[in-house]
Amino acid sequence: MKDELVLILNCGSSSVKFAILHPAVGNTLVEGIIRRIGLAESDLHYVFGAKEVNHPLGHINYSQAIEEIIKTIRQSSDYLDNIVVVGHRVVHGGERFTSSVIIDSAVLDAIRAYQHLAPLHNPPNIAGIEAISRIFPHLPQVAVFDTAFHQTMPDYAYLYAVPDRLYKEYDVRRYGFHGTSHRFVTQEAAKLLNRSLNECAFVSAHLGNGCSAAAVKNGKSVDTTMGLTPLEGLMMGTRSGDIDPGFHAYMAEQLKCDVKEVTRILNHDSGLLGISGKTSDMCDLQKLADAGDMRAQLARAMFSYRLAKYVAALAVPLGRIDALIFTGGIGENDVGIRAEVLKWLNILGFKIDQKSNALHGKNNHAIITQKNSTVAMVIHTNEEFLIAQDAFALIRR
Give residues with Cβ within 8 angstroms of 150, minimum separation 6: 158, 174, 175, 176, 177, 179, 214, 221, 224
Give residues with Cβ within 8 angstroms of 197, minimum separation 6: 186, 187, 190, 218, 219
Which superfamily does 5-145 belong to?
Answer: ATPase, nucleotide binding domain (3.30.420.40)
Rounded distance between C-alpha atoms, residue 6 and residue 389, angstroms: 9
Catalytic residue among 78, 109, 146, 322: 146
Domain residue limits, the chain: 5-145, 195-383
pLDDT at 106: 97
To the query of whether residue 223 is one of the catalytic residues in this protein, the response is no
pLDDT at 397: 82
Give the Cβ contact number of residue 123 at 10 Å: 16
pLDDT at 2: 67
Separation of CA 58 from chain center: 28
Question: Which CATH code fits 195-383?
Answer: 3.30.420.40
374-394 pLDDT, tens per residue? 999 999 999 999 999 999 999
Distance between first and last Cα of the chain: 20
Contacts of 193-196 spanning 24+ positions with Cβ under 8 A? 193/322, 193/323, 193/375, 195/322
Rounded distance between C-alpha atoms, residue 362 and residue 229, angstroms: 34
The one-letter code for the residue type at 232 is E
In the chain, where does DSSP find H-type helix? Answer: 62-76, 105-113, 122-135, 155-158, 164-170, 179-192, 247-255, 259-268, 271-276, 282-290, 294-318, 328-333, 335-344, 354-358, 383-396
pTM of the predicted model as reported, rounded to 2 decimal places:
0.94
pLDDT at 1: 44
Burial code (b: 16+ CB inside 10 Å, e: under 16) for 324-362 equals bbbbbbbbbbbbebbebbbebbeebebebbeebbeebbe
> 46: closest CA among 20, 22, 26, 80?
20
* Regions of the chain short of the pLDDT cut 50: 1
Give residues with Cβ within 8 angstroms of 352, minimum separation 6: 338, 339, 342, 343, 368, 369, 370, 373, 376
